Amino acid sequence: DEDSDDGTTRDLRAIPLPMALKRAVNFGGGVQSYFLFLRFLVVLNFFSFLLIAGFVIIPSIVFRSVGFIEYTYLFYGYYNNTMVEGMNFSYNIPLAYLSTAAFYLLFCLVCIIAMGTTARVVVATGDSSEGNYSMLVFTGWDFGSNGNQATKLKQQNIYYRLQVDLEEEMIKKKSSALTQRQKVCLYSARVVLFTLTLGFIGAALTGIFFATNFSQGLLYEYLPSIVITGANFIVPLLNDQIAPFEQYSPSVTVVLALLAVVLRLVSLVILLYTLWRQITCDETPDECALCCWETRVGQEMYKLTLFDLIVNIAVLMLVEFPRRMIVDNWHNKLTQWVGRQEFVVPYNVLGLVYGQTVVWTGAFFCPLLPLINTFKFIILFYTKRITLFSNCRPAVKTFRSTTSSFFFSGILLLGLTLASVVMIYSVAIHPSMACGPFRFLTSMWDVVPKSISKLSQTTREFLFFLGSQSFSIPLFVLSLILCYIVALATVYKKSVTLLKTQLKLDKQFLVRQIGRL
């Protein structure tokens, strides 16, 4: 199970940040995948920033025209709406802005798919859960590990891993032994608790909705961010308390927890929805009070990002450290029951995906956001590492790391889709007239036809041909199929080599057995 982490370490091509990732394994294999995932995101954001800087920010700085010095590069509102001329060439800033945004999303898509396919696919390489126990017992102990502390941690790790598997077995046995009456009780309890969870989520979302509508004045500017981050923090905690009563097996509980935490993405959707309502109001422009809506959206995303970081650090300092101090120094029943903080991988991963989705949504309106996010994730990396080693105990329910990379890519793709939808929508609607590179155009997309019409006739015809339905759609479908086949072929090749080795060993064994008869 845990050897898949070694595979992921070798496959991820990332700049190594100085960190003893090996130690993290003692807290459960999923923890190591969390940190690897975080490292991947840092690199992704950094390269995205380089992309944006190269094509949008630096040309804007170089070819700056006077009069806009009071705005900052942070937000969309700043950027030039014209072609800028300098030296012997002209640089079409609006076109650059739009195409960079499109390439940025495509680039992220490619990176995510690359990360996902280099992960081990459990299904194709056969049943890897076979031989779990014997492997663990006979090869689980690292004879090279030194030191009392490392030994104790390793023993605890093995203990917890065995426990996870055993717990699943025992629950399976128990659930098949329930009487009719007990089953009825259990199912009705599940229904009640599910409705309660939905109720909590609904209340949180309505709160977000009202907070966004209410945030017109300067005082209430941070209200949506506060409510969202608050809801994100509280609802999973409540869910965590409820889950034991529902008596699902650990794997199912983890999946349910993940689903419940998809709330994070939904809360973002609600925020966007309320903003959208404010943008597309039917009254006259004066009453809408949003003369530069793109900057407003960019600002909201920027605030969300910052707030997320602030809350994470605040939780660390105000909750986790004190909790450890209290639990370690006071020994009574209450502290025993509460216990030290557990580093629960699913929630932390979803926090990362949420943060990344916010950045993707906001990057179009706030080009420096990927850079800010790079720093945010670096800070998060080190703070989480500190809290892991100082405050946490190994997770009781270990998150199976074999499928984790695959799974992380999946939810990341979901976030990317949400961001793409937002971007496509923004491109299609009427941009604001007072700011940004696309003012005076009916829609952002218009800049593309206009630029194309300035090219020569042959180039135009060639581009039209490429863009026509008869060419691009088959090409797109073909390339998707090709990618899929290539990915499948690599995985099958690996499993074929593995099966061949196993076959050889089985033959040797049988020959020896025959020899003994």
Partner 1 sequence: MGNKQTIFTAQQLDAYQVSDHVYSILFYRYRDLAPQLVPLDYTNNPDVKLPYELIGSMPELKDNPFRQRIAEVFSEDGEGNMTLNDFLDMFSVLSEMAPRDLKAYYAFKIYDFNNDDFICKSDLEKTLNKLTRNELTEEEVRMVCEKVLDEADLDNDGRLSLDDFQHMILRAPEFLSTFHIRI
Of 137 and 281, the one with the shorter C-beta distance to partner 1 is: 137
Stretch that binds partner 1, among 29-37, 147-155, 323-331, 372-380 (CB under 8 A): 147-155
> What distance in Å separates the CA atoms of residue 348 and residue 387, rounded to the nearest whole number?
12
Q: Cα angle at 195 between 192 and 197, to 5 degrees?
A: 110
CB of 320 to partner 1, least distance (A): 25
Contact between 166 and partner 1 by CB under 8 A: the answer reads yes
Contact between 158 and partner 1 by CB under 8 A: the answer reads yes
**Cβ-proximal residues to 365 (8 Å cutoff; 6+ apart), any chain:** 75, 76, 294, 295, 297, 298, 301, 426
Stretch that binds partner 1, among 77-85, 137-145, 230-238, 415-423 (CB under 8 A): 137-145
Of 130 and 287, the one with the shorter C-beta distance to partner 1 is: 130
Contact between 284 and partner 1 by CB under 8 A: the answer reads no
Three-state secondary structure call for residue 86 = strand
- In eight-state DSSP terms, residue 429 is S
Stretch that binds partner 1, among 130-138, 274-282, 375-383, 489-497 (CB under 8 A): 130-138
Q: Which amino acid is at 504?
A: K
The burial class, CB within 10 Å (0-12 / 13-18 / 19+), for 417 is: middle
Stretch that binds partner 1, among 141-149, 226-234, 266-274, 372-380 (CB under 8 A): 141-149
What track of x and - describes contact with partner 1 for positions 484 through 513 (by CB under 8 A)? ------------------x--xx--x--xx
Of 148 and 329, the one with the shorter C-beta distance to partner 1 is: 148
* Closest listed residue to residue 428, CA positions, set 416, 438, 437: 438
Binding residue for partner 1, selected from 13, 22, 152, 493, defined by CB under 8 A? 152
Q: Read out DSSP for 29-56? A: HHHHHHHHHHHHHHHHHHHHHHHHIIII
Contact between 134 and partner 1 by CB under 8 A: the answer reads yes
Contact between 461 and partner 1 by CB under 8 A: the answer reads no
Contact between 251 and partner 1 by CB under 8 A: the answer reads no
253-290 exposure pattern, b = at least 16 Cβ within 10 A, e = fewer: bbebbbebbebbbebbbbbbebbbebbeeeeeeeeeeb
> What distance in Å separates the CA atoms of residue 362 and residue 306, rounded to the nearest whole number?
13
Q: How many residues bind partner 1 (CB under 8 A)?
A: 37
Contact between 89 and partner 1 by CB under 8 A: the answer reads no
CB of 147 to partner 1, least distance (A): 6
Of 162 and 414, the one with the shorter C-beta distance to partner 1 is: 162
CB of 24 to partner 1, least distance (A): 17
Backbone angle region of 426, left / alpha / beta, with phi > 0 → left and psi within -120 to 50 → alpha: alpha
Q: Which amino acid is at 290?
A: L
Handedness of CA 388, 328, 156, 129 (dihedral sign): negative
Contact between 141 and partner 1 by CB under 8 A: the answer reads yes
Contact between 244 and partner 1 by CB under 8 A: the answer reads no
Binding residue for partner 1, selected from 151, 182, 188, 216, defined by CB under 8 A? 151
Contact between 140 and partner 1 by CB under 8 A: the answer reads yes
CB of 170 to partner 1, least distance (A): 8
Helix intervals (H) in 56-179: 58-62, 93-118, 132-139, 148-176
In whole angstroms, how far apart are CA 134 and each of 33, 265, 309, 502?
A: 24, 41, 43, 17
Of 89 and 138, the one with the shorter C-beta distance to partner 1 is: 138
Stretch that binds partner 1, among 66-74, 75-83, 125-133, 285-293 (CB under 8 A): 125-133
Contact between 148 and partner 1 by CB under 8 A: the answer reads yes
CB of 499 to partner 1, least distance (A): 12
Stretch that binds partner 1, among 142-150, 221-229, 233-241, 355-363 (CB under 8 A): 142-150
- Residue 221 has phi, psi (to 5 degrees) of -60, -35
Binding residue for partner 1, selected from 16, 70, 127, 130, defined by CB under 8 A? 130
> What distance in Å separates the CA atoms of residue 279 and residue 287, rounded to the nearest whole number?
11
Binding residue for partner 1, selected from 72, 82, 169, 489, defined by CB under 8 A? 169
> What distance in Å separates the CA atoms of residue 498 and residue 148, rounded to the nearest whole number?
37
**Cβ-proximal residues to 141 (8 Å cutoff; 6+ apart), any chain:** 154, 158
Stretch that binds partner 1, among 71-79, 105-113, 127-135, 487-495 (CB under 8 A): 127-135
Contact between 174 and partner 1 by CB under 8 A: the answer reads no
Contact between 222 and partner 1 by CB under 8 A: the answer reads no
Strand 83-86 to 341-342 pairing? unpaired
Residues that bind partner 1 (CB under 8 A): 3, 6, 130-135, 137-148, 150-152, 155-156, 158-159, 162-163, 166, 169, 502, 505-506, 509, 512-513
